[in-house]
Structure 1
Amino acid sequence: MSDATTEKATEQFESLFVGPLRAYGSLNLEYTEKLISVQFDAVRAMTDMGLTQAREWLTVTDADSLKKVVEDQQKASQDMGERLKGDVERVMTLGQEYVQKGQKLAEENFQAASTR
């Protein structure tokens, strides 16, 4: 095999296999990083809320303080529900973005392979 033939085969291998695999790997890594970030944020928020609520229960000394803690607990539950709703929306958006980018990569790779 001549150097030109070897170089051409290497170039085709790179453009047909290695390049697309690298692009998909990058897409998967980006998605995973964003998903883990959303999950860590959610866990942190829930943990902070739980610890705050536990501290508030330690302040109960009479009926008025008990009433306040119960009201705060209800507010915190509502806030956490809103937070979880937002987190679910973020995850869904990430999933949609991932699918769209994956489809775009597939189309680009198909077009590139068709022109060769």
Structure 2
Amino acid sequence: MKTFSFDTKPFEAMLLGPARAYAALSIDYTEKLLTAQLDTAKAYTDTGLAQARGLLEVRDADGLRNYLEGQQQFAKDMAERLKGDAERVVSLNQDFVQQSQKLAESSLKQTQQAASAKS
């Protein structure tokens, strides 16, 4: 009885290796994106709670005036925070796209080399 032997190296090089690499890249991206979202949510929650506590400290007209004046700085700070958070997400997305393209190019080259070697 003759035993059939299957060489898995080409299969690994052309399919499984790139699939694992892309899965690892996707998981890394997802982790970074979720971390950014959690950091942002925490910062916004902390800021909102600080604003609420500040409002509870208002006892008179001067306190109210001071609180309202502080709201201008709060709005400015929040606008900057939103801008920074958006830039962070855009940067993560751009990095993921670039890494995905590099991975696809590398996989294509490996597939072409494997196909050429069989010819």
TM above 0.5, one fold?
yes
Secondary structure at the counterpart of residue 59 of structure 2: coil
Secondary structure at the counterpart of residue 61 of structure 1: coil
- Choose which of 92, 95, 107 in structure 1 pairs with 2:93: 95
Distance 1:14 1:53 in 2: 56
Pairwise CA RMSD: 1.3
- The runs of 5 or more residues in structure 1 that have no matched partner are none
Q: Which amino acid aligns with 1:22?
A: R
Distance 2:67 2:98 in 1: 46
Distance 1:26 1:87 in 2: 24
Identity %: 47
Deviation, 1:2, is 5.3
Higher relative contact order (CA 8 A, sep 6+): 2
TM-score by length of 1: 0.92
Kindly report which structure 2 residues correspond to 1:1-116, keeping only aligned pairs within 5 A, or say none.
5-6=5-6, 8=7, 10-116=8-114
Report how many aligned residue pairs link the two structures.
Answer: 113
Q: Which amino acid aligns with 1:28?
A: S
TM-score by length of 2: 0.90
Deviations 1:53-93 (A, max 9, x none): 10011111111100111112221121111011001001001
Moved over 3 A (4+): none
